[in-house]
Amino acid sequence: MLKIPVYTQLGSKKEDMTMPRDWEIKVNRKLLSQAVRVYQDRKHPGFSKVKTRGEVKSSTRKIYKQKGTGGARHGARSAPIFVGGGIAHGPKGVKRKLKLSKDIKQQALKSSLSLKATVGKLYVVEGISKLVKTKDAFNMFGKIALSQKIDKNPRFTMVLSEKNKDALRTLRNLRDVKTVFYRNLNAFDTFVGGNIIVDKDVLETQPKKIKNAVIKPTSTKKDRKSSQKKIVAKTIKSRVAKKVTKKK
């Protein structure tokens, strides 16, 4: 069982707590590297696109005859060699195709959190709601860095719960401190975020997995046809019954 140090909002160490079971898994480095690659690729939208010689609005007329001028052979003004012509081998604005499923995202996030815990760069802080001034938050990070003997220029990623969203104002002006809500946390932010500090309210308000969940079987085409036939038969019976009552 991995242990995570717990600090107060003043920066003093309180205790060591066991890591949540959902987070403590075997680190899958191949999956983590795949997730980081996809997140890095998705960070660049790739919307830039230039026009080729076929897309530039220009005449396709040959600018002068092929022979007898003493000049080089040229075709239209839209050639890449001319100013105002098309661009050769420019960006095409290709849509990004790398994706991750929900299960892979969750597993990669758990692997990155477990990796940070094994390295000793995962901490928990309680009483975040009591932080009002940026100066107090700065002192808290400084004391944590001193107690853990972190480098001179440490980087922190503060994982907040929705309950303490007002603390974002206190933390957003700090240098080398990135603030992210737990619902928006991903494997890339955790992996490259330096020292991860988790709000204790995140662990208390974490959604629990439903155990012994009943999975309903999906309906097949035969079941759908039989249900449709039953519905049609019921409507016909009701119409016939109405006609019989009207005749009486």
The mean per-residue pLDDT over the stretch 108-120 comes to 90
Three-state secondary-structure class, residue 154 = coil
**Residue 211: pLDDT band with limits 50, 70, 90:** very low
pTM, to two decimals? 0.66
Cα diameter, the chain: 107
Mean pLDDT throughout 146-157? 80
- Strands laid side by side in the 3-7 sheet: 13-18, 3-7, 122-125, 195-199, 156-160, 177-181
Task: Give the contacts of 130 (CB within 8 A, at least 6 positions apart).
Answer: 9
Question: What CA–CA distance (Å, rounded) separates 186 from 243?
Answer: 65
The CA distance from 215 to 200, in Å, is 33
pLDDT of 188 higher than 70: yes
Instruction: Classify the C-alpha dihedral 219-221-222-227 as positive or negative.
Output: positive
The confidence score (pLDDT) of residue 98 equals: 84
Hey, how many other C-beta atoms are within 10 angstroms of the C-beta on 234? Answer: 10
The residue with greater pLDDT, 245 or 203, is 203
CATH number of 3-45+102-204: 3.40.1370.10
- Cα gap 73→67, rounded to integer Å: 8
Helical (H) or strand (E) element with 15: strand 13-18
3-state helix, strand, coil in the chain (%, to 5): 40, 15, 45
**188 sits in which H/E element:** helix 187-192
For the chain, the average pLDDT equals 83
Domain positions in the chain are 3-45+102-204
Report, as an integer, the average pLDDT of 48-59: 92
Rounded mean pLDDT, 167-188? 89
